[in-house]
Chain A
Amino acid sequence: MLRGLAILLLYQGIGEAITHFSGIPIPGPVIGMVLLFLTLTLSGYTMPQWLGHTGHFMIRWLPLMFVPACVGIFFLPNTHADEWPAIVSVIVLSTLITIATTAVVMKWLLRPEAEHLS
């Protein structure tokens, strides 16, 4: 568990350092995720079980870590007060439409595979 946490923190730190020194607008943790994935996949070693345990523990509690950011929705600057109904409608409508159409497109793209299996 602690060894796993140390590995995750190491990659988070490397990712942050790369973002900081290169000026790439991609957040450090995302770069850290890509680097850890490349290390695990390209190294050819079997991933140690303890790393898997720590990883699944962190992911299980991912919703908890989003809570403080979500609370921020209720404390936004008042500069766009008159546009709120429009903004909320845009988000709800476009998110629902995007999910539905993207799912249908992906199902259609995976069709050859389904035909192949049947």
Chain B
Amino acid sequence: MTFISTAWIIQAGLLILTLAIFSVSFWLYQQCKALPAIHSLLHPLVTAPLLIGGLLLVLDIDYSQYRHANSPFFFLLGTATVALAIPLHQQFHHIRTLAKPLLLTLLFGASFAVISALAIAWALGASVDTLISLTPKSVTTPIALGITEKIGGQPGLTAGIVVFTGVVGAICAPWIFSGLKITDDRIAGFVMGISAHGVGTARAFEISSRCGAFSSLGLGLTGTLTAILLPWIVIACSG
């Protein structure tokens, strides 16, 4: 009985760690709104994982233990994914009139993400194993893991690549859009959903709810399209 309660205390402690560090990171992010140059770099999705990762290393806590204790967040991530249907429904009248340009953008963006990653990796001399693990990088994590298992990549590597892609995309996308003078939040949202999946979508909702709705649409469509097509493409290429 004593053993069980110790385990519960550690589990609660690791959950509180996530909440506490996130709150601090979120507060810092809000405080630095006036500093546009570094504001994006201080996003809670950059600072919180860095701080928690550092603490786990210092305290010599295994990631699998942390992950297990934080499984409620992994579950709620699924619940929040279902909730994306709500803004999608509310913005549907905007989306319906744009069906054709949205589908064309989706086909272009989803294939470009895979092809550009493969081309650069191949040019840098990556192994076949790495190349395969890179292909589902723009797809939301659970879909990507399903795909990589099907096509013979490394699940651990793919999970890391997918999350890192999302963070890079979510942080850099607003800079790219302002550089290209793109002010249309429908374009910003849809592109972030296609290229940076859920992390990009979380960021898109900070821009506007219309931006978030277009991002949710991009996320759902890219995930579905890649899940259906990629296994066939890999089979065709390797066979």
Binding site for B on A (CB under 8 A): 5, 8-9, 11-12, 15-16, 25-30, 32-37, 40-41, 47, 51-52, 54-56, 58-77, 79-80, 83, 86-107, 109-110, 113
Contact = CB atoms under 8 A, between A and B. Distances in A.
B187 A63 contact: no
Interface of B: 18-19, 21-22, 43-45, 48-49, 52-53, 56-57, 63, 66-67, 70, 73-74, 76-90, 92, 98, 100-101, 104-105, 108-109, 112-113, 116-117, 119-121, 124-127, 129-130, 134, 137-138, 140-143, 146-147, 150, 154, 156-157, 159-161, 163-169, 172-173, 176-177, 180, 182, 184, 186-188, 190-192, 194-196, 198-199, 201-203, 205, 212, 216, 220, 223-224, 227, 231
Nearest to A61: B80
- SS of A interface (majority): helix
B199 to A, nearest CB: 6
B171 to A, nearest CB: 10
A68 B66 contact: yes
A106 B83 contact: no
16 contacts: A32-B81, A72-B159, A73-B49, A76-B160, A77-B154, A87-B121, A91-B161, A92-B168, A93-B120, A94-B116, A94-B120, A99-B191, A100-B180, A103-B176, A110-B184, A110-B186
Given A55-B83, A91-B168, A106-B191, A86 B105 contact: no
A87 B143 CA distance: 20
B84 to A, nearest CB: 5
A21 B112 CA distance: 33
Contact of B63 (A58, A63, A71, A99): A71
B169 A25 contact: no
B157 A64 contact: no
A58 B73 CA distance: 12
A77 B156 contact: yes
A51 B86 contact: yes
Contacts of A27: 78, 81, 140, 142-143, 146, 223
Contacts of A52: 86, 90
Nearest to A109: B101
Contacts of B202: 59, 62-63, 66
B213 to A, nearest CB: 10
A25 B150 contact: yes
B41 to A, nearest CB: 14
Nearest to B137: A91
B31 to A, nearest CB: 16
A62 B66 CA distance: 19
Contacts of A33: 81-85, 88, 216, 220
Given A64-B22, A99-B195, A109-B105, A11 B82 contact: yes
A29 to B, nearest CB: 4
Most buried by B among A11, A30, A71: A71
A97 B116 contact: yes
B89 A41 contact: yes
A26 B85 contact: no
B169 A95 contact: yes
Contact of B79 (A9, A83, A97): A9
Given A32-B78, A96-B176, 18 more contacts: A12-B82, A30-B142, A30-B220, A40-B85, A59-B86, A60-B205, A62-B77, A66-B166, A69-B77, A72-B67, A79-B157, A83-B130, A93-B120, A94-B120, A95-B113, A95-B165, A100-B176, A102-B109
